[in-house]
Each structure stands twice: as structure tokens, then as C-alpha cells.
Amino acid sequence: MSETAQRSGAVPLVAIGSGAVVAVLLGVYGAQHEPTFEDITTFGFPTLTAMKVWLAVAAGVMAVGQVFGALWLYGKLPMAPPSWLGVGHRISGFAAVALSLPVAYHCLWSLGFQDYDTRVLVHSIAGCALYGAFVFKVVGVHSKQAPRWLLPFAGSLLFTAFLVVVLTSAGWYLNEFGLPEGPAY
């Protein structure tokens, strides 16, 4: 059997299905959960909003770095990638998602799924999609039978969700109010 025939069509279905289940469950939870409107930890930042803006911006910058790392790894940049880039790409991708988790936790627990204006609705949908795309990518990446298009597609979907989430939250905040104060260490 050829390599193309061996690559399973079931892998994309399982990966997409897994990601879709996560995204829908987050959306349903956010819509059904009674928001607490309470703050969580600020990790040394003066306000919860400052923590959310700084972490979201950092995660967004790391997501942009992920795109350049992926392009470099796949030979789309004019220089050869260094040997450490694959590991660095995985670590920085994990770090970007990890930085986003306290922000997402606060959004889901304290605010829930909101739809009172277009920006907030798009943000709520994109936030759920981000973690669905993350699961989609992780499930797809860890299969040796995944078709070649799956990884770049999943990575592009994850980056797009990150971009929309950051622009509709921290990007909006920075445009409206400027840079909040940083951590008080």
C-alpha cells in the first residue's frame, strides 16, 4: 500500500471532532454557567484587567512567533533552521497556550459566554474556538497517519483563533485605554 493510501482519513475526522467537542462544551458551559463577576488572582499585576491584557499580548506575540517558527521549520524562509528550532517551537507553543489559560479561566468563570455586542460575541466564539483548535492540532500532530495538510491547517486555525481573541480583547483594550500598568514586583 502506498504512503498516501496509508494516511488515514479518520485522523482528520477524529482531530476535528475532538476539537469541535471541546469548543462546543466550552461555549455551552460559558452560556449556562452563572457568571460570578469575581476577580481571580492577578499574579502581581495591579488589576485583573492589567493581568489579562499583558498575558493576552504576550500569548499573541508568541503566537506570531509560532508562525515564523513554522515557516522556518518547513523551509519557507531563506535560511536553514537551527537544530533546536523544533523543540523551541513546541515549547513556545505550549507557553503561549499556558499564558492564555488564566485569562480564559477568568473569562469563562467570572464573565461567561457574552453576546451583548458584536466584538464581545466574536471574542466569546473565538475563545471557545481557540481551545478547540488547540485540541484539534494536538490530536492531529500526534498521529503518524495524519495527512500532510492537517498540521499546517490546524496550526493556521489555531493562530487565527489566537489572533481574533487577542485583537477583540487586549487589542481593543489597548486602543481604548492604552497600556495598563505592569506587575508590581
Q: Which has the closest alpha carbon to 136: 64, 128, 6?
A: 128
pLDDT for 5 equals: 44
pLDDT for 142 equals: 84
Instruction: Tally Cβ neighbours within 10 Å of residue 151.
Output: 16
For residue 183, what are the contacts with CB-CB under 8 A and spacing of at least 6?
Answer: 43, 44, 45, 46, 51, 54
Packing angle between helix 48-73 and helix 85-106, nearest 10 degrees?
150
Instruction: Tally Cβ neighbours within 10 Å of residue 88.
Output: 15
pLDDT for 6 equals: 54
Q: Which three cell numbers stand for residue 155?
A: 496550526
Q: Which three cell numbers stand for residue 154?
A: 490546524
Q: Yes or no: say if 67 and 97 are a contact pair by the CB < 8 Å rule.
A: no
CA separation (Å) from 128 to 57, 142, 152? 18, 22, 20
Amino acid at 131: Y
Instruction: Tally Cβ neighbours within 10 Å of residue 89.
Output: 19
C-alpha 33/C-alpha 86 separation (Å) is 39
CA separation (Å) from 144 to 20, 94, 135? 21, 20, 16
pLDDT for 122 equals: 98
C-alpha 169/C-alpha 56 separation (Å) is 8
In a structure prediction context, what are the per-residue pLDDT tens digits for the chain, which is 185 residues long? 445 445 678 999 999 999 999 999 999 999 999 999 998 899 999 999 999 999 999 999 999 999 999 999 999 999 999 999 999 999 999 999 999 999 999 999 999 999 999 999 999 999 999 999 999 999 998 888 899 899 999 999 999 999 999 999 999 999 999 999 998 76
pTM: 0.90
